[in-house]
Amino acid sequence: MTTNEETAAALERLADMMELDGANFYKIAAHRKAARRIVESGEPVTRLAAEGRLTELPDIGEKIAAKITEMVEKGSIGELEAYEQRFPPGLLDLQRVEGIGPKTTRKIWEALGISSLDELEEAARDGSIAGLPGMGEKTAANIIRAVKRLRAMGDRIPLGEALPAAAAAAAALRRHPGAHDVTIAGSIRRMRETVKDVDIIATADDPGELTGYFATIDVAAETVASGPTKCAIRTHGGIQVDLRVVPDEAFGNLLQHFTGSREHNIALRERALSQGMKVSEYGVEDADGREHRCRTEEEVYQLLGLDYIPPELREDAGEIEAAAAGRLPRLVEESDIRGDLHLHSDWSDGRGSIREMAQAARARGLEYIAVADHSRSLAVARGLTPARLSRQLEEIAALNDELDGFHVFSGMEVDILADGFLDMPDDVLEELDFVTASIHSGFGQERDRIMARLRAAAENPFVRAIGHPTGRLIGRRGAYDVDMEELIELAAHTGTALEINSHYWRLDLRDRHARAAQEAGARLVINSDAHAPADAGSLHYGVATARRGWVRRESVLNTLTAGELAAVLSKPKQGNPA
């Protein structure tokens, strides 16, 4: 039976082949979007195809639905098979290497016959890549680095793909009448940016009945392993989910153990030993040798003489010492976030009107947004000229007259151009409420050039925030060469906020950089970078990243109310003394 994962993979492969073939950009993007929707869908694609309901999924039209149906019925897509005759499959691996697009892949393949990562790496080392027209030593060195990064990601899955699958599996388990506590554990509970698999801990009337049921839930495409208290399945999206059913009286011990991290657990165990205690997944033994089984994690930490440690902090990064001293931070929470200061509308590359984006934010409990469409140099994103921007301002003003209890701030995600200038004159930026400046080009520049650009942006009096400050895309693209210490310093003394971009590919600033920024007194802002109304929920990932970075509410600009923020924005930027 064809799984959603296989179908999505076939569509992705088809899109990759189309890229090699130089096909139309929108056609390729449509196939990729469809693949994502299939992975996200909780329903098996076989059922959707059999019932003729594929086009009910968002972003799936008749043409792509026909290809999916072909895949479901024949196990393959004819168009893809034809491509596979033309291009060796290894070319797709080359395309995944950062800095090598489809054009370069074809060039390298046609010139040197290279069609695998190993061959590519060798050719980058032995000078044959550097010898190709338009390439050089620098390209070859970049290729070696990029291949290394690609291999390091291995099979880890971005959090934003694993979490929906984990939530669906947990929800299905909770619907079983014999299930008591069902909790996601492991790296997902800690909200690590990538995860290997999903761990779920549960208690139940009859463990064997729950594990047996687990293998039959809609989310499960296949059973990987099963036993009386354990069961592992793979979802239609190809993600492994491990369920462990544990006794009620030790639920707290087991949840604590399987939440990890391994490093946190080891440090916890060592600290306990040094105080004459013991801690394991079975219980806590106190200094008098008495064994305690804990129903809750709170009891585990309490017995060890520690304040409760939120899962996002459990990385052995000082949290145990802080908990022992009663000095854990009060972390920012999703409900603290009052507004979203970076999202796009259909004025540039967004897929919702400003009104729709505002409504989606409002439905999520926010009280304001700032529209941050792209500036003109980003032509692929239909970036705004000053003239279009001024028409957008009229639309925003009209919308604000109409909205009650919600405010739309004007703004822009202005491009920091490769030469260091901003893509909009100061007299235009000055008219906007909230300007975010971001780098979208010149990623390969030397550190000095990158820093000069970021410095110019931070020192501009009208730039309130730096968007996705390192530009990394998890597993896909490395950061540009940012001196993080210097950027944080600049942010703090110019009063420019650093963004934690919530898109699960970005999570940029990442956790430890957010922590350093807070320590240096820089402001943070947690934004969705939403391109469609449905993306409003992504703030969850940004907040989790902030929490992993020990970030408190006071450090986050958009925890201010609309009125407080307006008051801040009515005055010039204010930094800390250098």
Residues in touch with ligand DGT (CB under 6 A):
186-187, 192, 195-197, 199, 257-258, 260-262, 265-266
Q: Which is nearer to ligand DGT, 4 or 253 (CB)?
A: 253
Q: Which is nearer to Ca ion, 170 or 328 (CB)?
A: 170
Token couple for 83: 């491509």
Say which entry of ligand DGT, Ca ion, Zn ion, none residue 261 contacts (CB below 5 to 8 A, set by partner kind).
Answer: ligand DGT
Residue 439's nearest CA partner among 426, 427, 461, 455 is: 455
Name the residue with the smallest CB distance to Ca ion. Answer: 186
User: How many Å is the Cα radius of gyration of the chain?
Assistant: 26
- Which residue stretch of 196-204, 327-335, 353-361, 552-560 sits at the interface with Ca ion (rule: CB under 5 A)? 196-204
| Nearest residue (CB) to ligand DGT, 21 versus 263 | 263
- As measured in angstroms, the least distance from the Cβ of 189 to Ca ion is 9
CB of residue 199 to ligand DGT, shortest distance in Å? 5
Beta bridge partners of 225: 232
Among candidate residues 32, 73, 30, 38, the one with its CA nearest the CA of residue 56: 38
Which option in ligand DGT, Ca ion, Zn ion, none does residue 493 bind, with CB closer than 5 to 8 A by kind? none
SS3 call for 434 = strand
CB of 559 to Zn ion, least distance (A): 22
Pick the closer one to Ca ion by CB: 313 or 437. Answer: 313
Contacts of 519 (CB under 8 A, 6+ apart): none
Spatial contact of 373 and 415, defined as CB atoms under 8 Å apart: no
Q: x/- binding map, residues 382-421, to Zn ion, per CB under 5 A?
A: ----------------------------------------
What is the Cα–Cα distance from 488 to 494, expressed in whole angstroms? 10
**How far is Cα 241 from Cα 122, in angstroms, rounded to an integer?**
37
Choice between 93 and 199, CB closer to ligand DGT: 199
Minimum CB–partner distance for residue 530 and Zn ion (Å): 12
Q: The tokens 């509410």 sit on which residue?
A: 553
**Of residues 239 and 454, the one with the C-beta less far from Zn ion:** 454
Place of tokens 């990158």: 450
Q: Write the interaction track for Ca ion spanning residues 165-194; mark x where CB under 5 A is met and - where it is not.
A: ---------------------xx-------
d(CA 340, CA 352): 15
Tell me which amino acid residue 177 is: P
Q: Where are the beta strands (DSSP E) in 367-517?
A: 368-371, 407-409, 411-415, 434-438, 463-466, 497-501
Whole-angstrom distance, CA of residue 564 vs CA of residue 573: 14
Residue 116 per-residue DSSP state: S
523 three-class SS: coil
Of 312 and 499, the one with the shorter C-beta distance to Zn ion is 499
What lies within 8 Å, CB to CB, of 26 at 6+ separation is none
260 interacts with Ca ion by CB under 5 A:
no
Query: What distance in Å separates the CA atoms of residue 191 and residue 541, rounded to the nearest whole number?
Result: 8
* Nearest residue to Zn ion, scored by beta-carbon proximity: 438
Instruction: Please report whether residue 438 would count as binding Zn ion according to CB under 5 A.
Output: yes
Least Cα distance to 559 among 343, 367, 306 occurs for 367
Buried b (16+ CB within 10 A) or exposed e, 296-331: ebebbbebbebbebbbbbbbbbebbebbeeeebbeb
Nearer to ligand DGT among residue 28 and residue 195 (C-beta): 195
Q: CB under 5 to 8 A by kind: which of Ca ion, Zn ion, ligand DGT, none does 151 bind? A: none
d(CA 121, CA 510): 29
In the list Ca ion, Zn ion, ligand DGT, none, the entry touching 438 (Cβ below 5 to 8 angstroms by class) is Zn ion
Q: Indicate the residue among 197 and 423 with the shorter CB distance to ligand DGT.
A: 197
Binding-site string for Ca ion from residue 132 to residue 171, where x marks contact by CB under 5 A and - marks none: ----------------------------------------
How many other β-carbons are positioned within 10 Å of the β-carbon of residue 153? Answer: 14
Of residues 186 and 350, the one with the C-beta less far from ligand DGT? 186
- For residue 422, cis peptide bond before it (omega within 30 degrees of 0): no
Report, in Å, the least distance between residue 413 CB and Zn ion: 5
User: Using CB under 5 A, which of the segments 236-244, 301-309, 322-330, 430-438 binds Zn ion?
Assistant: 430-438
Contact between 199 and Ca ion (CB under 5 A)? yes
Least distance (Å) between residue 470 CB and Zn ion: 12
* Residue 496 contacts Zn ion per CB under 5 A: no
Phi/psi class of residue 132: alpha, beta or left (left: φ > 0; alpha: ψ in -120 to 50)? beta
Q: Which residue is nearest to ligand DGT (CB)?
A: 260
Residue placing its CB nearer to Zn ion in the complex, 434 or 550: 434
In whole angstroms, give the CA distance from residue 41 to residue 186: 23
Q: How far is the CB of 530 from Ca ion (least distance, A)?
A: 28
Instruction: Outline where 440-524 has alpha helix (H).
Output: 447-459, 484-494, 511-519
Does 315 bind Ca ion (CB under 5 A)? Our answer is no
The one among 6, 16, 19, 197 contacting Ca ion by CB under 5 A: 197
The residues of the shown chain that bind Ca ion, judged by CB under 5 A, are 186-187, 197, 199
List contacts with Zn ion (CB under 5 A): 438
